[in-house]
Amino acid sequence: MVVAVYPGTFDPLTRGHEDLVRRASGLFDTLVVGVADSKNKKPFFSLEERLTIANEVLGHYPNVKVQSFSGLLKDFVREHDARVIVRGLRAVSDFEYEFQMAGMNRYLLPDVETLFLTPSDQYQFISGTIVREIAVLGGDVSKFVFPSVDRWLQKKIAANNAAEQQ
């Protein structure tokens, strides 16, 4: 049985992320979507919110598990006996960072491979950061995220705006 891990912050989970999950889940017996705590990135959504969102969007895939992790990816990969780390590459600008990370992961986990998947054409330009920025500025992100994620974004933005008003 081949287990793969797809790690990320997923802040928020986009249609591009789901596209990679859908395609990667067809390649492996089990795909563990690792939602990183990423406190150093100061995420828009809490870890608990990101886990809930990921489960809402990805819960229908029978061989996909959504779990959180903090600390080193290598420990999470070992914990799940994974043989592959799945990463998405949207653009050449992603490559340098991802190449360095793959090299470090190979050093730390010599028996684990990193598999790069490019997104489907319609998702190549989508990133969680851009989606958040558009949403916060009042733009329509419905083509980039699932309806449930759009509702989460609107709710969070409204709560943040209300807190700023006080």
**How high is the pLDDT of residue 162?**
82
pLDDT in tens, the chain (166 residues): 999 999 999 999 999 999 999 999 999 999 999 999 987 888 999 999 999 999 999 999 999 999 999 999 999 999 999 999 999 998 777 888 899 999 999 999 999 999 999 999 999 989 999 999 999 999 999 999 999 999 999 999 999 888 887 7
- How do strand 84-88 and strand 3-8 relate by DSSP bridges? parallel
Instruction: State the CATH number of the domain containing residue 39.
Output: 3.40.50.620
Which residues are bridge partners to 84 per DSSP? 4, 113
Residue 41, domain member (yes or no):
yes
- Total tally of structural domains belonging to the chain: 1
Residue 159, domain member (yes or no):
no
Residue 148, domain member (yes or no):
no
Distance CA 140, CA 22 (A): 24
**How high is the pLDDT of residue 165?**
79
Residue 65, domain member (yes or no):
yes
Tokens of 68: 């959180």
Residue 97, domain member (yes or no):
yes
Residue 116, domain member (yes or no):
yes
- Detail the DSSP E strand segments found in the chain: 3-8, 30-36, 64-69, 84-88, 113-117
Tokens of 55: 């489960």
Instruction: Give the range of the structural domain holding residue 118, as residue numbers without chain letter.
Output: 3-124
Residue 59, domain member (yes or no):
yes
Indicate the length of the chain as a whole number: 166
Residue 96, domain member (yes or no):
yes
